Amino acid sequence: MDHSNSSFSIASAYSDFKEITKVRLSVSVVFSSIAGYLLGCDTIDGFVLILLALGGYFMVGASNAYNQIIERDLDALMDRTKRRPIPDGRMSVNTAFVIAVSFTILGIACLYVINPRTAMYGAISIFLYTSVYTPLKTKTPLSVFVGAIPGAIPFMLGWVAARNEFGIEPGTLFAIQFLWQFPHFWAIGWFLYDDYEKGGFFMLPTKKRDKGTAVQIIMYTIWTVLASIIPAFGVTGDLHLSVVGAIIVLALGLVMLYYAFRLYKLRTSKAAKQLMLSSVTYITLLQIVYVVDKYI
């Protein structure tokens, strides 16, 4: 038996597994939910943190595996996705389905151990992503609106895991990440426009890389930044942000807004990519600032 071959197949199976469950995306979701938990908890419970991290990973993994099963024929048409495990023939639909179902059960179980409410929101996010967002992507640009809901749940989920209740605080965390999804998604939709078109996906609000789309990106960026500083005004219950924290968040937001205006002016793929990177930087640093602000 050729050992180099078997070790190669294990390595490739592992990389396919990582691709079908989108490990990198999972990490950002886990990061968001842990940030939400740290904001909501009175004392940090390591066991809950581990369950939350696992539950978050399984949820994203399940959603992505379902998504790649449903879109396998469309994925085959796009350069960005044609090398994915299913369209490339490296993984069968059945194998992907077993992964998706196992991850759904494991994810909801992990979150249920924390509390049933957290499990419910986890289940809602898998359902919306798989059964509503994915089918709508080829039908209407409104799919981004639906996709923004499961996309915004992790930040809020962490708070619910800590408090076992839904109120103004997790609602605010949800609103920030919900509004943020639009400039983020549309920037991606802009620089991958040609590729998305091959798969028949309409991700931009006007379906075109035009001023109308760029204006909406600017508007949603402004709303994101405004929502992000609301906790500094003492109207969001136990979710607080100091003046210094708010100034830092506002400064970060202005950087993102600069790139949104730049996209409006240049309307190039490069400008869209820079906006996308600045949006990722913004949401990551915002969550860090919120958490540091609470514990300092």
Q: What is the pTM of this model?
A: 0.94
Which of 165, 182, 205 delimits the end of a domain?
165
Q: Which two tokens stand for residue 123?
A: 């289940």
**What is the rounded average pLDDT of the residues 283-290?**
98
Same domain, 286 and 194: yes
Domain range holding 152?
1-165
Crossing angle for the helix pair 46-70 and 93-114, to the nearest 10 degrees:
150
Which of 165, 191, 220 delimits the end of a domain?
165
- How large is the greatest C-alpha to C-alpha distance in the chain, in angstroms? 68
Residue 33 sits at the vertex; the CA angle it makes with 112 and 123, to the nearest 5 degrees, is: 40
**What is the C-alpha end-to-end distance of the chain, expressed in Å?**
59
- At 4 the pLDDT is 58
**What is the rounded average pLDDT of the residues 45-49?**
97
Same domain, 190 and 209: yes
pLDDT digits (tens, 9 = 90+) for 221-268: 999 999 999 999 999 999 999 999 999 999 999 999 999 999 999 999
- At 264 the pLDDT is 98
Same domain, 23 and 42: yes
Q: How many residues does the chain have?
A: 296
The tally of domains found in the chain comes to 2
| Domain at 4, CATH number | 1.10.357.140
Same domain, 4 and 134: yes
Whether residue 54 has pLDDT greater than 60:
yes
- At 202 the pLDDT is 86
Whether residue 3 has pLDDT greater than 90:
no
Same domain, 255 and 156: no
pLDDT digits (tens, 9 = 90+) for 74-92: 999 999 999 999 999 999 9
Whether residue 101 has pLDDT greater than 60:
yes
Residue 83 CB neighbours (<10 A):
12
Same domain, 172 and 143: no
Which of 149, 165, 181 delimits the end of a domain?
165
- The rounded mean pLDDT for the chain is 95
Q: Find out whether 60 and 260 touch, Cβ atoms under 8 Å.
A: no
Same domain, 121 and 195: no
- At 93 the pLDDT is 95
Same domain, 29 and 153: yes
pLDDT digits (tens, 9 = 90+) for 202-213: 899 999 999 999
